[in-house]
Amino acid sequence: MNRSRPVLVAVMATLAAAWGTIPLIVRSVPLSSQQLAALRLWFGALTVLGILAIRGDLRLRRTDPVARIVGLGVLLAIHWAAFFWAIDTTTVAVAIVVVYLGPVAIAALSPKILGEPLRASSLISLAVALGGVILVARPHGGATLEGVIAALVAAATFAAMVLIGKPAAQAVGGLKLAGLQMTVAALVSTPWAMSALPEIASHWWQISILGIGLTGIGLVIYWSLISVLPVTTIAITSYIEPASAVVWAAVFLSEPGDLWSWLGVVLVIGAGISAGRGDRLTS
């Protein structure tokens, strides 16, 4: 691996931390989770499609994996619907911990599906990151069968997207894959987007940040990184997203958390640093 990999890991960590601000937006906009997810998809898709149009890169080539891209779009729509369903039917803590079993599945399956070796150091970092998220969320009580099943679906689709999506990202590029995937997912979620139209004018800036910045631009960066980084490294650094939510809640929502939550944040950040160092040492 080349010497730029630690920089790319730092970019992934920064993106994950930015995604940790999404709960702040969710709390500030009086829309259902499904409506907000649909709007973020439409805003994100239109943003990336606009960039592709300017570049003259909207046309599909015969060699582009169209079926795989459509499947990724459907998986994205199912993933977010299942995740929001889990949040609605169980506690946020239980939902987060179950959904973030997805990176464990990614690490376990990547050697067989993608042929990427699973180093012992990566496995240790993954375990530390998972332990950190459990400390951050600490699920206790409030778990429901419906919510856990929905969270498991979200975890499975998360893992499937990364494992299926890496070859597509390498084939068409992160920008094009993000635009096409979000377009498919946006079309699937159109009924919820239509029902949310009356609220856009009142909350345009929050929805724009969520859709254009965190979703459109964010997914372009994400797929670009997946095309060049080992998926296990992506899995480890993705845990910074839920961990960073503790920091944002302390800064903006006056929710300081407790000692265990902050210990979890430290563990997740340490695992992310370890993932970056692991890439550097093998460069």
Task: Please report the pLDDT score of residue 208 as a whole number.
Answer: 95
Quick one: how far is CA 231 from the chain centroid? Answer: 13
Please choose, from the candidates 203, 180, 193, 160, the residue with its C-alpha nearest in 3D space to the C-alpha of residue 40.
193
CA-CA distance, 169 to 225, in Å (whole number)?
Answer: 9
Task: Please report the pLDDT score of residue 136 as a whole number.
Answer: 78
> What is this structure's pTM?
0.84
Residue 280 has pLDDT above 80, yes or no: no
CA-CA distance, 208 to 125, in Å (whole number)?
Answer: 35
Cα end-to-end distance, the chain, whole Å: 4
What angle, rounded to 10 degrees, do the helices at 240-252 and 120-137 form? 30
Beta carbons of 242 and 137 less than 8 angstroms apart? yes
The one-letter amino acid code at 64 reads D
The one-letter amino acid code at 73 reads G
CA-CA distance, 217 to 215, in Å (whole number)?
Answer: 6
CA-CA distance, 41 to 180, in Å (whole number)?
Answer: 11
Residue 1 has pLDDT above 50, yes or no: no
Rounded to whole angstroms, the maximal C-alpha distance in the chain is: 55
Mean pLDDT estimate for the chain: 86
Beta carbons of 206 and 214 less than 8 angstroms apart? no
| Residue 195 CB neighbours (<10 A) | 14
| Mean pLDDT score, 118-136 | 84
Token digits for 48?
């990336």
Give the DSSP per-residue string, 219-247: HHHHHHHHTTS-HHHHHHHHTHHHHHHHH
Token digits for 105?
């599945």
Query: How would you class 201 by CB atoms within 10 Å of its CB: exposed for 0-12, middle for 13-18, buried for 19 or more?
Result: exposed
Residue 283 has pLDDT above 50, yes or no: no
Task: Please report the pLDDT score of residue 15 as a whole number.
Answer: 96
DSSP 8-state secondary structure symbol assigned to residue 72: H
Q: Tell me how many degrees the CA angle 107-108-112 measures, rounded to the nearest 5.
A: 105
Domain count, the chain: 1
Task: Give the model's confidence band at 281: pLDDT under 50 very low, under 70 low, under 90 confident, else very high.
Answer: very low
Percent of the chain predicted with pLDDT > 90: 42
Residue 172 has pLDDT above 60, yes or no: yes
Please choose, from the candidates 196, 117, 193, 107, the residue with its C-alpha nearest in 3D space to the C-alpha of residue 155.
107
- The boundaries of the domain holding residue 159 are 5-281
Give the DSSP per-residue string, 14-66: HHHHHHTTHHHHHHHS-S-HHHHHHHHHHHHHHHHHHHHHHHT--SPPTTS-H
Task: Please report the pLDDT score of residue 93 as a whole number.
Answer: 72
